[in-house]
């Protein structure tokens, strides 16, 4: 993993914001919470990879695409799959039922 760099396009807490977005609205079971935490980690990793690409370029001195570009693409695919699974499980798509029923929505107050 590349060293942590400052990414001007993303807050250092994008992963934490993703977790907050779900946990503030839903009561999640432990397995779904674990999936959410992996998605948050992946989002932060993508931000770090993007910062490395921005700082060092997408192509190396030999004219080949750098490994960080390939890894960022791969991680984006994983993140999309995890977010789709979380959306399906939460039931926030066309119906209100996810594959495990629906998350109970937290009450206000």
Cβ neighbours of 34 (radius 10 Å): 11
As beta bridge partners, residue 98 has 101
Per-residue model confidence (pLDDT) at position 4: 47
3-state secondary structure of 39: helix
- Per-residue tens of pLDDT for the chain, all 109 residues: 344 445 555 555 799 999 998 888 888 889 999 999 999 999 999 999 999 999 999 999 999 999 999 999 999 999 999 999 998 877 765 554 455 555 555 555 4
Query: How many CB atoms lie under 10 A from the CB of residue 14?
Result: 16
């Amino acid at each position: 993993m590349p060293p942590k760099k400052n990414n001007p396009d993303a807050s250092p807490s994008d992963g934490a914001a993703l977790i907050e977005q779900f946990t503030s609205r839903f009561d999640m079971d432990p397995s779904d919470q674990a999936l959410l935490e992996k998605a948050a980690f992946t989002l932060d990793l993508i931000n770090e990879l993007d910062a490395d690409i921005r700082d060092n370029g997408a192509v190396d001195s030999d004219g080949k695409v750098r490994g960080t570009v390939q890894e960022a693409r791969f991680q984006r695919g994983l993140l999309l799959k995890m977010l789709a699974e979380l959306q399906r499980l939460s039931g926030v798509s066309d119906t209100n039922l996810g594959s495990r029923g629906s998350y109970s929505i937290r009450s206000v107050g």
